[in-house]
Amino acid sequence: MKITILHGAFFPVPALRGGAIGKAWHGLGQVFASKGHQVTHVSRKCDGLAEEERNGNVQHLRVAGFNSVNNPYLLKLKEFFYVLRAKKVLPQADILVTHAFWAPLLLPKLKFGRIYVHVGRYPKGQLKYYRNAGCFQVPTKAIRAAVKKEIPKSRQMISVLPYPLNWKVDFETDYLKRDLKIFYLGRVHPEKGVAELIEAFNNIPINIRRDWKLSIRGPWRTEQGGGGKKFINQLKKMTSERNTSIELLDPVFSESKLKDELRSARIFAYPSLAERGETFGLSVLEAMSCGCVPIVSALQCFKDLVENNKNGYVFNHKSTHPDDSLISVLSKAMQFEANNITLSNEARIKSKKFEAEEVSQNYLDDFSKLLSEKHF
pLDDT tens, position by position, 40-70: 999 999 998 999 999 999 999 999 999 888 8
Which pLDDT score, from 0 to 100, does residue 374 have? 53
Is the pLDDT at 243 greater than 70, yes or no? Answer: no
Q: Determine the Cα–Cα distance for residues 116 and 161; give it in Å rounded to an integer.
A: 13
Residue 375 has pLDDT above 70, yes or no: no
- Considering only 223-227, 240-244, 269-273, which range has the smallest mean pLDDT? 240-244
Q: What is the mean pLDDT of residues 160-173?
A: 93
How many other C-beta atoms can be found within 10 angstroms of the C-beta atom of residue 298? 16
**67 neighbors 61 (Cβ within 8 angstroms):** no
SS3 204: coil
On whether the CB atoms of residues 18 and 24 are closer than 8 A, the answer is no
Mean pLDDT of the chain: 93
DSSP state of 186: S
CA dihedral 160, 17, 302, 193 (to 10 degrees): -150
Contacts of 124 (CB under 8 A, 6+ apart): none
pLDDT mean over 279-288: 93
With CA atoms as reference, report the closest residue to 340 among 315, 316, 311, 305: 311
Mean pLDDT of 122-134: 93
Whether a cis peptide bond, with omega within 30° of 0, leads into 14 is: yes
The pLDDT, as a whole number, for residue 17 is 80
Domains of the chain (ranges; CATH) run 2-164+356-371 (3.40.50.2000), 175-352 (3.40.50.2000)
Q: What is the pLDDT of residues 295-331, one digit of tens each?
A: 999 998 899 899 999 999 999 998 888 899 999 999 9
The residue length of the chain stands at 376
- Which pLDDT band holds residue 339 (cuts at 50, 70, 90)? very high
Summarised one tens digit per residue, pLDDT across range 173-203 is 899 999 999 999 999 999 999 999 999 999 9
Helix (H, G, I), strand (E, B) or coil at 228: coil
pLDDT of residue 376: 39
Helix residue ranges, H only, 206-307 = 206-209, 229-241, 255-264, 282-289
What are the Cα distances from residue 37, in Å, to 21, 40, 56, 364?
Answer: 21, 10, 10, 10
Give the mean model confidence (pLDDT) for residues 354-360. Answer: 93
Q: Is 76 left (phi over 0), alpha (psi -120 to 50) or beta?
A: alpha
As a whole-number percent, the residues of the chain with pLDDT over 90 amount to 82
The yes-or-no verdict on residue 167 having pLDDT over 50 is yes
| Burial bucket for residue 149 (CB in 10 Å: 0-12, 13-18, 19+) | exposed
Percent of the chain with pLDDT over 70: 99
What is the spatial distance between Cα 128 and Cα 132, in angstroms, rounded to a whole number? 10
* Residue 225 confidence (pLDDT): 86
Asked whether 30 and 50 are in contact (CB, 8 A), the reply is: no
